[in-house]
Amino acid sequence: MSTPNDPNQPASAYPQQPPAPNPAYGQPPAYGQQTAYGRPQQPAYGQGAYGQPPYGYPAYQPVPTDPGQLLNILSLVAIFVMPIAGIFLGAFGRKQSRAAGFPGTMGTVGMWVNIALTALSVLFIVVWLIFFFGFLATAGTLAGTSGAY
């Protein structure tokens, strides 16, 4: 047997092939199999184990919005401005919210508060008119009988 640098051997046309690689340095074993050092191999960075999602934050999922939210808010604002319009705004906003699968609580509250305020306004006007016409009737009878001073 000769060594590669033996001057007595003629030079070959082909270079000498490298020795076969050590099996410990070949292809890495599949996940969960033992490595050359006896520990299981870790998954690559960014690749989750057992089908888990990769590291980091999950993808952004848009939050569904209530289509009747604007009308519901306007029904609450209408409490201070025009309660009669607030009844209709609350009813329509509640209907849109319920159709989209939202509870529509703001619309319900706005609608009922506007109904209560409208009823109180009507009651106040009726009572005021009774007192006003009662005062006129009383003033008319007093004016007719009080002519002799």
- Rounded Cα distance between 86 and 132, Å, is 29
116: domain range? Answer: 69-144
Question: Is residue 137 one of the residues assigned to a domain?
Answer: yes
Q: How many domains does the chain have?
A: 1
Question: Is residue 90 one of the residues assigned to a domain?
Answer: yes
Q: What are phi and psi of 34, to 5 degrees?
A: -75, 140
Threshold 0.85, pTM exceeds: no
- Rounded Cα distance between 41 and 27, Å, is 12
**pLDDT range class, residue 43, cuts 50, 70, 90:** low
pLDDT of residue 34: 58
pLDDT of residue 117: 96
pLDDT in tens, 74-131: 999 999 999 999 999 999 999 999 999 999 999 999 999 999 999 999 999 999 999 9
Query: What percentage of the chain carries pLDDT values higher than 90?
Result: 47
Composition of the chain by helix, strand, coil, percent to 5: 50, 0, 45
Find the DSSP H helices in 11-104: 69-81, 83-99
